[in-house]
Amino acid sequence: MSSPGAPVRVALLGCGTVGSQVARILVEQAADLRARVGRPLDLVGIATRTVRERPGVDPALLTTDAAALVARPDVDLVVELMGGIHPTLELLTDALAAGKSVVTANKALLAQHGGELFEAAERAGVDIYYEAAVAGAIPIIRPLRESLVGDAVTAVTGIVNGTTNYILDQMHTTGAEYADALADAQALGYAEADPTADVEGHDAAAKAAILASLAFHTRVHLDDVDCEGIAEVGAADIEAAEQIGCVVKLLARCTLSADGTIAVGVHPTLVPATHPLAGVRGAFNAVFVESINAGQLMFMGPGAGGSPTASAVLGDVVTAARNRVRGVAGPGESAYSTPGITDPGRVRSRHHLALVVRDEPGVLARVAAAMAHSGVSIQEVRQVPLPGDGAHARLSITTHVASTADLGAVVAELEASDDVSGRIRVLRVEGE
Amino acid sequence: MSSPGAPVRVALLGCGTVGSQVARILVEQAADLRARVGRPLDLVGIATRTVRERPGVDPALLTTDAAALVARPDVDLVVELMGGIHPTLELLTDALAAGKSVVTANKALLAQHGGELFEAAERAGVDIYYEAAVAGAIPIIRPLRESLVGDAVTAVTGIVNGTTNYILDQMHTTGAEYADALADAQALGYAEADPTADVEGHDAAAKAAILASLAFHTRVHLDDVDCEGIAEVGAADIEAAEQIGCVVKLLARCTLSADGTIAVGVHPTLVPATHPLAGVRGAFNAVFVESINAGQLMFMGPGAGGSPTASAVLGDVVTAARNRVRGVAGPGESAYSTPGITDPGRVRSRHHLALVVRDEPGVLARVAAAMAHSGVSIQEVRQVPLPGDGAHARLSITTHVASTADLGAVVAELEASDDVSGRIRVLRVEGE
C-alpha cells in the first residue's frame, strides 16, 4: 500500500485505559488505517498528567503540556480522552478555532458544553465526533445522527452505564444487598473507588442528554435530565420486581411527550423480562430506539473498557481524517428544534408501588379508591401476609401509565392514611 | 423554518411497497427534512411501470419513462426502488455519470455490480448509499462503513431474511413441516407467491456479499457466496435442534479464516438458545458483528416492510442531500483489500449429524472411530432407540469445529458403512 500524500497528524490528550489502547491501535493497525484513510495516521504527541513509562508507548511522544501540544501547527486532529470540564473545554475550543478536528469521548463535557463546541466546529468548518461518549463500542451516535435522520424518533431507552448494570445484575443473580454488590463490583474493577458518578446516575444522565439531543434534533443540557441513581435499590426491590416478572435496570429514557415537549430521565426501572433490554447482562450496554417509520431498533455491545471504547474512537478518527484528506467536514449537529423539556410532574410512566398495609377488611378497597380518585389506574395487584406478623400485609401494585404528579399525590395521600405503615416504595415500570 | 437555498430535487424510480412510503414521508415530514438538510427536498418525478392512481401520490409526478426522468437536468438525486438488474444498472450508471447522487435498496444489483457502481460514483465525485439494501431499517451499512472503520472485523453473522426467519420460527412454535409453514407465510403476506429468492437463500446471499465487502474492505460478488436455503429443513431438524438446546436459523455468515481468506456463506444453522441471535423472532432481522477491539455487537430491528425500509432510504437521502448542499461527497467504499475467498472445503464450523444406525454393540464405537480417524472431534452425542423399531437407534452428534471437507469425508464413509441406514442429515452449528 502506497502513501500518496502527507500524513494526518494526531495529538492524543490523555493516555489512560482508553488512550493507551488508541495509541496501541494507531501503531498496530497502521497499515489498515492508512489504506482506509488514504494517508498515514501519525501520532505526533500524547499529553499526560505525568511523563512516565507506559507499555507500548514511545516515551518521546509524551508531554505534560497539553496546551502546547494542541497549539502545534503540525497537529491536524485532536483526540481528547483526558476527561473533566476544565481545562478540557478550553483546549478543545482552541483546537477547533485553530482548524483542527476533534474526537472526544467526554460525555460530561458534551452534556454541559456541547452546544458551544458544535458551534465552534461549525464556524471553523471542521469536525467534532464523539461516538465513544455513549455506550462505548456500540455505534449509536452515527445511527442517530445519520441513519435515522430521515425518520422521526419518538423514544430512546438505554442501558448506558455498565457499572450499575453489573451491580443490579449481581443483585438479581445472588440476592445480594446493594452495598455488597457494589463492593464486589469495586473488587473486580467494574466500579471505581469513588462510584458516585456511576451509581448516582450522573454518567447515565450525561449520556441521556447527548442521546436526546441527537434523537430530537435539539440541545439538551445535563441540567435538563431528571436523575435518580441506584443507591437506594435494595434486595426487596429486586425481589418485588422478580415476583411480577421484571428485572431492575437503570434506564436512561428520552421520550417525546404528547404535548411536543421531551422528557429526559435516568431512573431505576422495572423492565419486563420479555423486553429486549431485560436480557442485557453484566457490564453490557444497549440502546433501544423507537421511531415512527423504522419501528423498534436495538443496538447492543460492550459499554466500556479500553479496547472497545478505543474502537469507537478510532472509527471517528478515520472518519475525521478522511474528511480532512478530502478537504471537507461532515454535516454538523442538527439542533433546529426547540421542543422544551416536559414538566417533571407531567412525565408519564407505569409505576410499581410496594407498601405495607393493615391486614383488615376494607383496606384494599380504600387503597384502590384513593388511587382511582387520583386518576391512577391499577393494572395488577398482589397482596400477601407480612411474614411473622398477623396484623399487616404487603401490597404490590403495578399501575397503568400515569403522570408522576398524579402518582406522587396518591402516594402522599396513602402514606398519610392509617391503613399504610411506613413509606411506600415507588419505582417506574417500562412499557404500557 | 426558512428555505435559504434551492431545493434538492429527488427522482424516485419505483413506487411499490417501499417507494410509496418514501413518497409519503417526503411530503408528510417535509418541514423536518428541510430543517435537517438545510434546503427543501423536492420530489420531482416518479417512474413506475404503469401510470395509475396511487393513494397519496400526486399523479402529475408519474411517468413510465425512467430513463428520461433520470436524465432530467433538474434532478439532483435518484432513489432507486424498482429492483432488478437491467435496465436498473444502466439507469444508475447514467445517473452517476451525470453527477447525480444515488440511493438504492437493490441488494441483488449491488452484490453483482457494486464495484462498477462504486467506481462510477467515485469518478463523478457523488454519493451512492444503500442502507436499505441489508436488514431493512436496521442501521448496519453505516456502522460497518464508518463506525467500525478503525477496528478489524473478524466475523459478521446475520439473520437478514425475514421471510425465512418467520417460516423457521413458525416451524419451532407449531411443529409444522416446511411446506405448511411456507403456505402460512404466503397467506399472511410474509412470503411471496414465488418464494424462491427467499427460501433458496439468494436474497440472504446478496446481503452476505454486501456485508462481507464492507466488513473486510474488499469486493465480494454474489457468486462468491456459498448458498444453501431452507427448503430441505424439516420438522425432524427442528426437533433435533430443540433436543440440544438450539433453534434453526438461516444465517448469513462472513468470517475471516486463519489463512487470511474470507468465507461467505448462507446456511440453515443450529443456533444455541443462549446466543443473542437465537432470540430474534418472526420477521425480525439482526446482525451480530465481532471485531478485535469492539468485541461483540448486535443490531436488531424490522428487516423489511414499506415504512421501516423507507426510514433507511430517507436517512440516506438526507445524508446525500446534505453532502450536495455542502458541495461534497461522502467517503467512497473502502475496497483496498484482496483477501481471496476461502476454499469451501476449508471453511470451519461445528456440525450436527442426525443419523440412524443399527442398534448393536460396537456400532457407536465404530462411528466414533471413523470420526476420530477423519480428524472430526465429537462434542456431544445422544443415542435413542428408533420408536417402534427394535433394531435401530437414532444418533445425534454435535462435532467440535472441523473443516467441511473433513466432515464431508466422514459423512461419506459412514453412509457407505453397514452400520448406518440411509442418509445422514448434516447442519452447521453456530459457535465453538
- DSSP notation for B149-199: TTS-EEEEEEE--HHHHHHHHHHHHH---HHHHHHHHHHTTSS-SS-HHHH
Nearest to A150 by CA among A297, A332, A292: A292
| Residue A232 in this model has a pLDDT that exceeds 50 | yes
Nearest to B258 by CA among B376, B343, B321: B343
* Record: contact B33-A148, CB cut-off 8 A: no
Distance CA A249, CA A431 (A): 13
| Residue A55 in this model has a pLDDT that exceeds 50 | yes
pLDDT digits (tens, 9 = 90+) for A320-329: 999 999 899 9
- Chain A residues whose beta carbon lies within 8 Å of the beta carbon of residue B311: 148, 150-151, 291, 293-294
**Helix then strand then coil, % of chain A, to nearest 5:** 40, 25, 35
Instruction: Write the residue in A29, A293, A311 that is nearest to B294 by C-beta.
Output: A311
pLDDT digits (tens, 9 = 90+) for A193-212: 999 999 999 999 999 999 99
Whole-angstrom CA distances from A125 to A102, A185, B43, B125, B152 are 12, 43, 30, 20, 30
- pLDDT in the model for residue A130: 98
- Chain B residues whose beta carbon lies within 8 Å of the beta carbon of residue A139: 139, 142-143, 147-148, 297
Helix, strand or coil, per DSSP, at residue B269: strand
Q: How far is A140 from chain B (nearest CA, A)?
A: 9
For A344-429, CATH gives: 3.30.70.260
- pLDDT in the model for residue A56: 82
Distance CA B92, CA A9 (A): 38
- Contact between A404 and A344 under an 8 Å Cβ cutoff? The reply is yes
- pLDDT in the model for residue A332: 85
Pick out chain B residues at pLDDT < 70: 1-4
Distance CA B279, CA A49 (A): 46
* Record: contact B293-A137, CB cut-off 8 A: yes
Nearest to B290 by CA among B159, B156, B431: B156
Q: Which helix (H) or strand (E) holds A313?
A: helix A306-325
Give yes or no for a cis peptide into A87 (omega within 30° of 0): yes
Whole-angstrom CA distances from A118 to A47, A78, A376, B176, B399 are 23, 15, 43, 56, 54
Tell me the CATH class for B345-429. Answer: alpha beta
- Chain B residues whose beta carbon lies within 8 Å of the beta carbon of residue A280: none
Distance CA B271, CA B276 (A): 9
Active-site position among B100, B107, B207, B249? B207
Strands B262-272, A262-272: parallel, antiparallel or unpaired by DSSP?
unpaired
Give yes or no for a cis peptide into A387 (omega within 30° of 0): no
For testing contact with chain B, the best of A103, A147, A297, A307 (most B CBs within 10 A)? A147
Distance CA A162, CA A192 (A): 12
* Record: contact B331-A336, CB cut-off 8 A: no
pLDDT digits (tens, 9 = 90+) for A87-123: 999 999 999 999 999 999 999 999 999 999 999 999 9
Distance CA B164, CA B204 (A): 10
For B8-136+306-325, CATH gives: 3.40.50.720
Distance CA B83, CA B49 (A): 12
| Residue A262 in this model has a pLDDT that exceeds 70 | yes
The catalytic residue positions of A are 207
Question: What ipTM score was computed for the predicted complex, to two decimals?
Answer: 0.95
- Chain B residues whose beta carbon lies within 8 Å of the beta carbon of residue A152: 29, 32
Architecture category of domain B141-302 in CATH: 2-Layer Sandwich (3.30)
Instruction: Write the residue in B21, B297, B322 that is nearest to A138 by C-beta.
Output: B297
The residues spanned by each domain of chain A are 8-136+306-325, 141-302, 344-429
* B326: amino acid identity, one letter: R
* Record: contact B328-A328, CB cut-off 8 A: yes
Whole-angstrom CA distances from A300 to A76, A210, A415 are 32, 18, 40
Name the grid cell of B143. 456502522
Q: Which helix (H) or strand (E) holds A123?
A: helix A107-124
For testing contact with chain A, the best of B140, B153, B311, B316 (most A CBs within 10 A)? B311
Distance CA A26, CA B420 (A): 56
- pLDDT in the model for residue B394: 95
* Record: contact B322-A302, CB cut-off 8 A: no
- Contact between B265 and B348 under an 8 Å Cβ cutoff? The reply is no
- pLDDT in the model for residue A4: 57
- pLDDT in the model for residue B1: 32
| Residue A146 in this model has a pLDDT that exceeds 80 | yes
Distance CA B309, CA B133 (A): 9
* Record: contact B149-A35, CB cut-off 8 A: no
* Backbone φ, ψ for residue B123 (5° rounding): -60, -40
